[in-house]
Amino acid sequence: MASVKVLLEGKDFKLTQARKALLDIFVNSTKPLSYEDIKSTLSMDKATFYRNITKFEEQKIINAIESHDKKRYFEIKAKSHAHFICTTCNSVECIKNGIYVTLKNYTISNVILQGICPTCNLANDKN
CB closer to DNA out of 40 and 97 = 40
Cα 69 to Cα 18: distance, rounded to the nearest angstrom: 26
CB closer to DNA out of 47 and 101 = 47
The values of phi and psi at residue 75, to 5°, are -150, 160
Chain contacts with Mn ion (rule: CB under 5 A): 75, 94
Cβ atoms of 56 and 77 within 8 Å: the answer is: no
Torsion of CA 117, 120, 122, 126, to 10 degrees: -160
Among 16, 80, 88, 110, binds Zn ion (CB under 5 A): 88
Could you say whether residue 60 binds DNA (CB under 7 A)?
Answer: no
Choosing among Zn ion, a second copy, DNA, none, which partner's interface includes residue 41 (Cβ < 5 to 8 Å by kind)? Answer: none
Q: Across the strands, what pairs with 62?
A: 76
Could you say whether residue 94 binds a second copy (CB under 8 A)?
Answer: no
CB closer to Zn ion out of 14 and 104 = 104
Report the nearest approach of Zn ion to the CB of residue 99 (Å).
Answer: 18
Hey, how many other C-beta atoms are within 10 angstroms of the C-beta on 67? Answer: 19
Sign of CA dihedral 51, 52, 53, 55: positive
Residues that bind DNA (CB under 7 A): 13-19, 34-36, 43-48, 50-52, 54-55, 70-72
Residues that bind Zn ion (CB under 5 A): 86, 88-89, 117, 120
